A and B are shown apart, each in its own frame.
Chain A
Amino acid sequence: MSVQQLSVFVENKQGGLAEVTRALAQEKINILALSIADTTDYGVLRMIVDRPEEAAEILKAQNAAVALTDVLAVKMPNHPGGLDGAVQALSKENIGIEYMYAFVCPLPGEACMVFRVEDREKAGKVLEDAGYLQLVTSDLYER
């Protein structure tokens, strides 16, 4: 169980990000979640979109460097300590988190969290055992 994440290389220069967002907007790709990892020279834009494979092709046709990665996405209960419980559970099992970001779940009243970890299967199981519900792609797009 996983969600496909689309990443794009964005050079730090005027209009770099705009090229990506414009291309996706023109083809009516909906961006559900987004985070940017920044370095001095470039950024890696990571997105959860409604049609990841199609979006990847659109960007490739514009000469962009893209990658599709399976990431773990879970629902977060909307109360204090909701996130802490998940992070503690992963830490206890020595699962390192490479990066994570939150987004508003299409399911009403709840938040979602994307985790990028080395062993996705194991991390998924750990979180399920701790009571966190994993999301799959279809949860995100169908209401």
Chain B
Amino acid sequence: MDREERYFQPDIECAEPEVLREIQSKRLREMAARCYDHVPFYRRKFDELGIKPEDIRSIDDIVKLPFTYKTDLRDHFPYGLVAVPKEEVVRVHASSGTTGKQTVVAYTQHDIDVWADGAARALAAAGCTKSDYVHVSYGYGLFTGGLGLHYGAEKLGAAAIPVSSGNTKRQVQILQDFGSNILCCTPSYAAYIGETCREMGVDTTKIPLRAGLFGAEAWSEGMRENIERLLNIDAYDIYGLSEIAGPGVAYECREKQGLHVCEDYFYPEIIDPDTGEVLPDGEYGELVFTCIGKEALPLIRYRTRDISALVREKCACGRTVARLKKLKGRTDDMLIIRGVNVFPSQVEYVLTEMGLEPNYLIVVDREGALDTMEVQVEMTPKMFSDSVKDIESYERRLAAAMQSTLNIAANVKLVAPKSLSRSEGKAQRVIDRRKI
């Protein structure tokens, strides 16, 4: 395979840091003025803090600006934060609304181009070229996944195959018949497609599929290995969220050492979620984005609730833009069980470390005053034995590994093979009965 590094916009992706700072400073100045002039919500916030757009001279002044929260989007549902006249809006998407009411995001033509740039950079970094077929199995619709990668593929000059999600056997058929080279979907769906290939007896070493871009969920290195093995491809993480644009805000290169941020369009910060203070590079905290490159919904310091850290050293791939360390998960996904923070991705890590496939369901409940955590794991041929003693010892090892990774005791429950639901989009991994 050709190992030459590919870029879509090397002038930006490999820019000198000073050049990038100039671009960021200029865009932030313009954005601050635009928000103050056209978005009453931001004007009020600026006035409350006693700042004027003129106070924003360089990108360093960003810390003077207020945060924007998901609730602000909801409070101004649907178009209250839009900064451009109606006639300039060409597209509307909505967030998946995993926690409560949907939020609506508007785009100008410029915004669509910016987003497509991000997705095209991500595809190029995964080795995609103009002569490739890009199989898009993200859902098309209000969700940004499908159209995001679709426009990115076209912008790069590759051929987009808009398969959308669902009908997994047909996905496998199209992978073979259309000669798809690059697969785009959620990591859990990629694993499911891989399992389906195996069940259908499709030899994945014999199909042209080479790489995949997987996002919209936090996933572990074990999951990566699992997908790479099942589909015989290189699996890359891609990050995005609809409030900011969609997939393509940040992406992995072949080094797979963090996700390069399109920081000329989306300026990243890592903050302490409790104090709001910016944290030093390398430290984990809440990821915050400012949409310095966007027109219709130019969010200022948007609190993503995602947990990551920033690395600013130049990458071995030649890119100079900042990298996000692999995301730990969304604070929304984080469970607090008996006072301990638990991310579902940690359970995934334990399972893949033990050579199991990352199919699981976490059930959290409360007995009296005590939280209980059950992890349902599918029985596999590897674990199964005619001897209950052997199965129980495997269960105990699994429970011990959970305890040491999660710092909390979990009850492991073995369930029938293939009985946990496989997802075509974001997988449901948690049932929290405490909320009901």
Contacts and interface: CB of A to CB of B under 8 A. Distances in A.
Interface of A: 5, 7, 9-11, 13, 16, 37, 39, 41-42, 44, 46, 63-67, 69, 98-99, 116
Contact of B392 (A11, A39, A99, A116): A39
A116 B389 CA distance: 12
B388 A9 contact: no
Contact of A65 (B387, B392, B417): B417
B416 A11 contact: yes
A41 B414 contact: yes
B394 to A, nearest CB: 12
13 contacts: A5-B386, A7-B384, A9-B416, A11-B415, A13-B416, A16-B416, A39-B388, A42-B379, A44-B391, A65-B381, A65-B416, A66-B384, A116-B387
A45 B388 CA distance: 10
Nearest to B414: A42
A18 B433 CA distance: 30
B414 A44 contact: no
B93 interface: no
Contacts, number: 55
A9 B379 contact: yes
A66 to B, nearest CB: 7
Contacts of A9: 379, 384, 414, 416-417
Contact size class for B?
10 to 19
B398 to A, nearest CB: 13
B419 interface: yes
Give the 4 A-B CB pairs with smallest separation, nearest first.
A7-B386, A65-B384, A11-B416, A63-B418
Contact of B413 (A5, A41, A116): A41
Given A13-B416, A65-B381, 7 more contacts: A9-B379, A9-B414, A9-B417, A42-B379, A46-B386, A65-B380, A116-B386
Contacts of B387: 44, 98-99, 116
B428 interface: no
A64 B385 contact: no
A89 B214 CA distance: 62
Contacts of A99: 387
A54 B138 CA distance: 40
B388 A65 contact: no
Interface string B395-426: 00000000000000000011111110000000
B414 A64 contact: no
A120 to B, nearest CB: 13
Contacts of A64: 416-417
B385 A67 contact: yes
Given A42-B379, A65-B380, A65-B381, A37 B388 contact: yes
